[in-house]
Each structure stands twice: as structure tokens, then as C-alpha cells.
Amino acid sequence: MRQILDSLLLVLALALVWQGLYWLAGDLALASPAQTFARAAELLATPSFWRHASETFLALGYALLIAVTAGMGIGLALGMHRLSGEVAEPVLVSLYSLPKITLYPVILLLFGLGISAKIALGVIHGIIPIIIFSMGAVRAIAPVYFKTARVLRLSRGQLVRTVIVPAAIPELVSGLRVGFSLTLLGVLIGEMFASQRGLGYLVMKSIGTLDVPTMMAVIVMLALVAVLISSLLLYLDHRLHRRAL
Amino acid sequence: MAASVVKMSADRSVSTPMLHAEMTGVTRIYAAKGKTPGVHALGPVDLALRQGEFFSVVGPSGCGKSTLLDVLAGLSSPTEGKVVFEGAPVTGSVPPGIGVVFQENAAFPWLSVKDNIAFGLRREGTDPAEVERRVGYALGFMGLEDFAAAYPSQLSGGMRQRVCIARTLVMQPRLILLDEPFGALDAQTRLLMGDELLKLWRETGATVMLITHALDEAAMLSDRIAVMSARPGRIMEELETGWPKERDSRIASEDHFGQITSRLWKRLREESIKATARGGA
Ligand SMILES: Nc1ncnc2c1ncn2[C@@H]1O[C@H](COP(=O)(O)OP(=O)(O)OP(=O)(O)O)[C@@H](O)[C@H]1O
Ligand SMILES: [Mg+2]
């Protein structure tokens, strides 16, 4: 209850700041909250908006699927094999801090302008933090769990399925949370610069035609969805970490 | 299965006591890693566990007790020397028939108490009805019936340790190694847990090795007690208590109990001072 009230207050405060900025910056750069929500309502009623939205979420879905399965697989393997993990970690960290936009021309050459380029861009944004978190998750597992597994004579497969994965789940969810935001970012960037479809494209197009309300409406809706999914994952994250104590 | 274990130990103890596990000339040196220097943690140690006995190891903190357990169980390879369990050398893996209760909390937080206890049996593919039966028995034996559905995070440290004991018990090991299982408990509760341990030992017929820093615990529970030196841990003395098999914490009021504890303490005092001076405590 307290939390809901707090969130409502936060939303109200944001709306006020927004309205204030609108008065300062004027019509050319910003739309007011009222204009934005009116435009959002219109958009939600148009089929073409839904085509763009489904394109974006389809790309996001594929990108997440690839980033999560490959990322967790690689991360768990590196975590279990200490030496390769130690070699890979600095490489991954520097790749992570590399601005992914520099890989952009390469991606376009490889994948063209279709949905696969967006997916690829989403994956390269999201996969590295997922690998790093998963690797850390395995390393943080209490050594006594591994000893217990050896005393109970578990096979390698049993060790992974019944000890490593469940023990790592709280950290894996943290990785998923960070990975999700970055994958979404990657997909949207892909849509903004080389696509004729998707919400990212819609934002770019409305900037081009100085259609500020549409731009703002799409951004706000995207932000809402992203915040919603993130908070769900955060909630799950907290619950899992509390239980692990 | 349980019955056959009991019978086997009874048969073997007819003649001179049979050896169940043996360490000869065992040392363990942890290799230097980066800036941390190598540690000579243990030995050389000679140790022989007799079939079906209750054996305790006492020693100052950091003297290598857990290392001794790891090497005996096959969790860690000796730097020198050899380990034999039931006539076969122990190398690189834990042989079937050994159960271990670790010093650290090893209950899996993602499983309920019941699933924790059933964990090993399920991995072995034991028939579900049999799993149910053994887990039910172990829950009762360890006084955990009311907590079967609880998660470890909802339990006290002592209860979690009981879960680990139960998880070991259901596997019906012939040699049970316990590493300071009651370290976190107050003295009275520890004595009562000791009674349960004795009951478990008598009922299963297993050989038990208990590592403890509590001299009264060792004096009351054991057939034999080994006293270890400060690190690198060696066995300075082994003493036989001579208690009858049917015993419980009431023997703590006997004169003989006092004699054993004072003898242990005499041996251990100097070593504990050494360990403390070195910052081992
Ligand atoms: N994996 C390891 N790598 C390096 N050194 C270790 C390792 N495990 C233990 N040691 C060192 O070996 C020595 C003996 O440790 P061990 O845990 O066997 O002692 P202990 O008698 O069980 O101690 P405690 O009374 O605290 O349980 C200690 O000095 C410890 O720091
Ligand atoms: Mg120890």
C-alpha cells in the first residue's frame, strides 16, 4: 500500500516536472503531458501503430531469447571452468564498455536492413552483461554446495541442473534484469537508424516531420512498458535474494 | 538395507576390531597461490577408524581438522601418504558409503526441508515410496516433522544442521563424518543433540567420526578420542574412554567423565595457546 502511494507520488512529481519543462521549452521541443496522452490514445487505436509495436516486440523477444540462452550458457560454462573464466573476464569487460554503435556498419553489412539486424544489435547489447552476471553467479556459489554434491556422487549433469542452476538463479535474474534493458536499447537503436518499421523507426520519423506529440507518446509508452517489466524482474530479484539468505 | 549394515558390523566385530578406514603418513599442503604463501595444514597423520566405533577428533582452531576430514572423505587429495576405506584406496572422489555433515551450513536454500533431505536419494533414482519412507523416518528422528515444508531461511542454525544430518542419514552411509555439527549451539542443546547422535550411531551401526572443539562433547560421546596439535595438525594422543555402548549425556556427571575431560584439556592447553598466539583463533 505504502509502495503504491509512493509510486503514485513519484508519477505525479514527474508529470509536474514535465509540465514545467514544457512551459520552459515550448511546443517545438516538447509536448505537454495532456497532448502526449491524447496522442497515445489515438495511436493505440490505429492498426499501423500496432504493426510497429509488434515488430519491435517480436525483435525484442528473439533478441532476448538468444541473449539469455547463449549468455547464460556461456556464463555458466565460464563460471565452472575457472581458468577460461579468468581469461575471458577482462576481454568481456572491455567489450562491454566498447560503444556498440561502432559495430553498427558491420552488423548492417552482415544482416541487411530487416528484422535480423535489430535482433543482432539487441543481442550484442544484452549478451555481455548476462554472461558476466552468470559467470559471477557460479563463482559466488558456496564451496560447501560443491562438496555436498561430490559426497552425494552427483553426475556432472545433475550437478549443473540440481545445484548450480538453482543456486545461481537469484544472480541470473539480476543479469536478466540488466540484460533486458540493454537488449531493448539495442533493438530500438537498430530501428532508429536502419529500418522502415518498429517503434524506434516511428520515433525517428516523427522527429523528422517535427511531430512532437507522436514522438513523445511513443517514448512514454515504451518507457512505461520497460519500467513495468524491469520492476517485475526487480521484485523477483529481491524475493529470490531474500530467500537465499 | 539398514538391517544389513548393522549385521555386517556385528559380524566383523567378533574377532579383533576390523579397520574401517585408515590414513597412513598423510600430509596436506595447500599450494601457494599468487601472493598467498603455501600452508602446511596437516600431518603427517596416521589414523585408523575401527568398524562401528564412535571416534572423535579434538584440536585447537585452525589446526587442520576440516582438512583431515576432506582428505579422509576423498574430497581433497593428500600431498603425501594414503587413505584406505573398506579395503580400497581413496583417490580423487568420494567412495560410496561415506556421508559427511559439513561445518558450514550446506542446506540448499531453494529446497524445502523435506526436499533437502530427499535430495541425495532422488539423484540416486531411489524408488519414490522408499524415498518417502526414509525421509519420513529421518524427519521424525531429527524432530523436524513440523518443519517439513519450511525453507532453510526460516530455521535456526541448529535446525539447519539437523536437516544436513538427516540428508546424510537417509543415504545410509557406513561411515559418517561430522565436522563440528553443533558448533553454533549453546552448551545444553549441544549435549542433547549429542544424545541424538548416540542414538543414531547405535541404530545405524555406522562408524562415526566427529570433529569438535568441545571437550565435554568428545568425552561423553566417543569410544576413542584423538587430540591434535596446533597447525600443522598431527595426532598427539589417542585415548580410549571405555564407555558402554548404551550411554547418554547422564554420564557427564560421572567421575570418569571428569578424568577424561581434564586429560584432554591438559594435552590441548599448550596447543591452544600456540594456536592463539599465531592468530589461529
Ligand atoms: N582451500 C584452502 N587453501 C589454502 N589454505 C587453506 C584451505 N583450507 C584451509 N586452509 C588453511 O589450512 C589450515 C587448516 O584449516 P582447517 O579448516 O582444516 O582447520 P580447522 O581445524 O578445521 O579449523 P576450525 O577450527 O576453524 O574449523 C588453516 O590455516 C587454513 O587457513
Ligand atoms: Mg574446520
Q: Does B109 contact chain A (CB < 8 Å)?
A: yes
Q: Which residue of B has its CA nearest to A154?
A: B123
* pLDDT number for residue B3: 40
Query: B271 - beta bridge partners?
Result: none
Cell of B46: 596416521
**How much is the pLDDT for A56?**
92
Instruction: Give percent above pLDDT 90 in chain B.
Output: 42
pLDDT band at A244 (very low <50, low <70, confident <90, very high): low
Residue nearest to atom 2 of ligand 1 (CA): B30
- Give the list of residues 6+ apart from residue B183 with CB closer than 8 angstroms, or none: B103, B212, B213
Contact status, residue A73 vs residue A137, Cβ threshold 8 Å: no
- Of the ranges A209-213, B10-14, B127-131, B182-186, which one carries the lowest mean pLDDT score? B10-14
The number of CA neighbours under 13 Å toward the Cβ of B179 is 23
Query: Scanning the structure block, which residue is given the C-alpha cell 578424568?
Result: B259
> What is the spatial distance between Cα B239 and Cα B162, in angstroms, rounded to a whole number?
28
Is-contact A166 A153, C-beta < 8 A? no
- B26, B27, B29, B30: which to mutate for ligand 1, most atoms within 8 A of CB? B30
Burial class of residue B228, CB neighbours in 10 A (0-12, 13-18, 19+):
buried
pLDDT at A122: 92
For residue B278, give the ligand nearest its CA. Answer: 1
B151 in contact with A at a CB cutoff of 8 Å? yes
Would you state the pLDDT for residue B15? 47
- Does residue B156 or residue B116 have the better pLDDT? B116
Alpha-carbon distance of B222 to A216, in angstroms, equals: 77
Contact call for residues B151 and A243 (beta carbons, < 8 A): yes
Closest ligand (CA of B281): 1
**Protein residue closest via CA to atom 31 of ligand 1:** B62
Probe residue for ligand 1, chosen from B40, B67, B228 as the CB with the greatest number of ligand atoms within 8 Å: B67
Instruction: Flag if B94 and A151 touch (Cβ within 8 Å).
Output: yes
Q: How far is B273 from chain A (nearest CA, A)?
A: 29
Chain B contact for A2 (CB, 8 A cutoff): no
Q: How many CB atoms lie within 10 A of CB B138?
A: 24
Which of these, A143, A171, A172, A148, lies nearest to A158 by C-alpha position? A148
Residue A156: closest CA among chain B residues belongs to which residue? B123
List, in sequence order, every beta strand (DSSP E) within chain B: 19-30, 39-50, 54-58, 80-85, 88-89, 98-101, 175-179, 207-212, 224-228, 235-240
Residue B103 · residue B67 · CB < 8 Å: no
**SS3 of chain A: helix, strand, coil, percent, to 5:** 85, 0, 15
Q: What are phi and psi of A31, to 5 degrees?
A: -110, 150
Residue B10 has a pLDDT of 42
CA dist A13 and B269 (Å) reads 68
> What domains does chain A contain, in order, with CATH numbers?
54-244 (1.10.3720.10)
- Cβ partners under 8 Å of residue B263, min gap 6: B239
Q: Who's near B53: CB < 8 A, 6+ residues apart?
A: B17, B20, B207, B208, B223, B224
User: Average pLDDT, whole number, for chain B?
Assistant: 85
Tell me how far the alpha carbon of residue A199 lies from the centroid of ligand 2, in angstroms: 59
* Mean pLDDT, chain A, whole residue set: 87
How far is it, in rounded angstroms, from Cα A126 to Cα A187? 10
Q: How far does B19 lie from chain A, in Å, by closest CA?
A: 21
Calculate mean pLDDT across residues B86-110: 91
Residue in the structure block whose three cell numbers are 512529481: A13
pLDDT at B279 over 70: no
State the cell numbers at A42. 489515438
User: What is the pTM for the complete model shown?
Assistant: 0.82
pLDDT at residue B54 is higher than 90: yes
Q: Identify the structural domains of chain B with CATH numbers, from first to last.
A: 4-97+175-189+206-277 (3.40.50.300), 105-172 (no CATH)
Regarding predicted confidence, which is higher, A196 or B170? B170
In the reported structure, the alpha carbon of residue B234 is separated from the centroid of ligand 1 by a whole-number distance in angstroms of 14
Confidence at residue B2, expressed as pLDDT on a 0 to 100 scale: 41
- Whether residue B232 contacts residue B41, with contact meaning beta carbons closer than 8 Å, is answered with yes
Q: Which of residues 135-154 of A touch B (CB under 8 A)?
A: 142, 144-145, 147-148, 150-154
Q: How many CB atoms lie within 10 A of CB A168?
A: 25
- Report the alpha-carbon angle B113-B119-B122, nearest 5: 135
A23 versus B43: the higher-pLDDT residue is A23
**Residues of chain B with C-beta less than 8 angstroms from the C-beta of A244:** 109-110, 153
Question: What sign for the dihedral angle of Cα B144, B147, B151, B156?
Answer: negative
Q: Do the strands B207-212 and B175-179 form a parallel or antiparallel pair, or are they unpaired?
A: parallel
Burial of B97 (0-12, 13-18, 19+ CB in 10 A): middle
- Centre of ligand 2 from the C-alpha of residue B206, in Å: 22
Q: Is the per-residue pLDDT at A66 higher than 90?
A: yes
Question: Would you mind telling me the total number of residues written for chain B in this entry?
Answer: 281
Residue nearest to atom 12 of ligand 1 (CA): B41
Tally A–B CB contacts below 8 A: 53
Enumerate the residues of chain A whose CB falls inside 8 A of the CB of residue B105.
Answer: 144
Residue B178 pLDDT exceeds 90? yes
Cβ-based neighbour number of residue A220 at 10 Å: 17
A22 touches A31 (CB < 8 A): yes
**All three cell numbers of B275:** 594456536
**Grid coordinates in use for A101?**
554503435
pLDDT for B182-234, tens place per residue? 876 777 778 778 888 888 899 888 999 999 888 888 888 899 999 998 888 88
CB-based contacts of B98, cutoff 8 Å, min separation 6: A151, B73, B74, B85, B173, B174, B175, B176, B177
DSSP string of B108-161?
-TTS-HHHHHHHHHHHHT--HHHHHHHHHHHHHHTT-GGGTT--GGGS-HHHHH
**Which cell is A2 given?**
505504502
Q: Is the CB of B165 under 6 A from ligand 1?
A: no
Mean pLDDT of the A120-126 span: 91
Q: In whole angstroms, what separates CA B206 from the centre of its chain?
A: 11
What pLDDT does residue B214 have?
Answer: 83
Considering only CB atoms, which chain B residues are within 8 Å of A166? Answer: 108, 110-111
pLDDT at B17: 63
Contact B216, B262 (CB under 8 A): no
Q: Is B57 in the pocket of ligand 1 (CB under 6 A)?
A: no
Amino acid identity at A51: R
Measured between beta carbons, which residues in chain A are less than 8 angstroms from residue B121?
none
What does the block give as the cell for B40? 602446511
Here the cell at position B35 is 601472493
The pLDDT confidence band at residue A184, using thresholds 50, 70 and 90, is: very high
* A65 to A103, A104, A135, B276: CA distances (angstroms): 21, 21, 18, 55
Angle formed at CA B75 by CA B72 and CA B78, multiple of 5 degrees: 60
Q: What chain A residue is nearest to B117 in terms of C-alpha separation?
A: A152
Cα(A94) to ligand 2 centroid in Å equals 40
Residue A158 C-alpha, separation from nearest chain B C-alpha, in angstroms: 7
Q: Are strands B19-30 and B98-101 parallel, antiparallel or unpaired?
A: unpaired
Whether ligand 1 lies within 6 angstroms of the CB of B65 is answered as yes
**Which residue puts its alpha carbon closest to atom 15 of ligand 1?**
B64
Ligand closest to the CA atom of residue B60: 1
CA-nearest residue of chain B to A163? B108
| Rounded CA separation A72/A74 (Å) | 6
- Give me ligand 2 centre to Cα B64, in Å: 7
C-alpha cell at B179: 565436522
CB contact under 8 A, B73 and A245: no
Task: Measure the CA dihedral B244/B245/B249/B250, to 10°.
Answer: -40
pLDDT tens for residues A89-108? 888 888 888 887 788 888 88
- Chain A positions in Cβ-Cβ contact with residue B171 (cut-off 8 Å): 152
